[in-house]
Amino acid sequence: MTDESERDRAVQAAIDGEMRLLDPEVRASPARVLELLDPEFIEFGASGRRWDVESILTVTSGGSVSLESPVKVSEMAGVVLAPGIVHLTYFADNQGRRAWRSSVWRLTETGWRMYFHQATLTG
């Protein structure tokens, strides 16, 4: 993947997926969340807990992001690590719970899916 526009499209696809996963309406639908998570998905949450697809679906469908107070995202940046692999970093504020976030997205036969996510709380 040496073409700059191809790299830009890959990064934008990962950003689009990340933003969909932060959307309260998407999070409320396990089927829509599953479309965006890799079957091998793992997250190390800000709480220190390790999550997989099954456990994250319980949280997302439980209203972890409010329609009235969506997550505020800033400093979103992405880089292609290898063909079909994108690393995103950004800052998120979820009703005062502020964290640096990092995600790895990979291209699958069904599209871009989040493979790994980590959150680190900030002061």
Show pLDDT as tens, one digit a residue, over the chain (123 residues).
Answer: 458 899 999 999 999 999 999 998 898 889 999 999 999 999 998 888 999 999 988 877 765 555 666 789 999 999 999 999 999 999 999 888 899 999 999 999 999 999 999 999 997
Residue 60: other Cβ atoms inside 10 A? 21
Provide the pLDDT for residue 63. 57
- The torsion angles phi and psi of 60, rounded to 5 degrees, stand at -65, -40
Provide the pLDDT for residue 70. 78
Provide the pLDDT for residue 36. 97
Matching residue, tokens 């040496």? 2
Distances from the Cα of 98 to the Cα of 77, 92, 94, 120, angstroms:
17, 6, 6, 8
Judge contact between 86 and 109, C-beta under 8 A. no
Provide the pLDDT for residue 67. 60
Provide the pLDDT for residue 1. 46
Provide the pLDDT for residue 112. 98
Provide the pLDDT for residue 66. 56
